[in-house]
Structure 1
């Protein structure tokens, strides 16, 4: 998935389409259980930020909670 994200971002660069991989974090949902560290609203912030990125925003990156992270 990492390599596909980078490849697709490069392929779509001229179309001004951003492609990123997002990891919302360990969220308190059924899958994350009550032991998870983040509330649902906090886990959604990374996805919302990426949905609203501007023309100069990141592309081909891995974002984990709201920060660029090394692959």
Structure 2
């Protein structure tokens, strides 16, 4: 999604990719809810520190990707 404009993906393709990502997120949420002691226990996923670390990591990744893929003047 971050590179959609840079690689020239048309808007309909970008929307399909976004919808697939949203569907995957819902599927993951459902899987975690139905399997509390799966790969990562629910109590770990639900902890404040884990969520904060995930959000910070995603933000840093997005910033690095956006910075490094920006067109040079």
TM-score, with normalisation over the residues of structure 1? Answer: 0.28
* More strand, by proportion: 1
* More helix, by proportion: 2
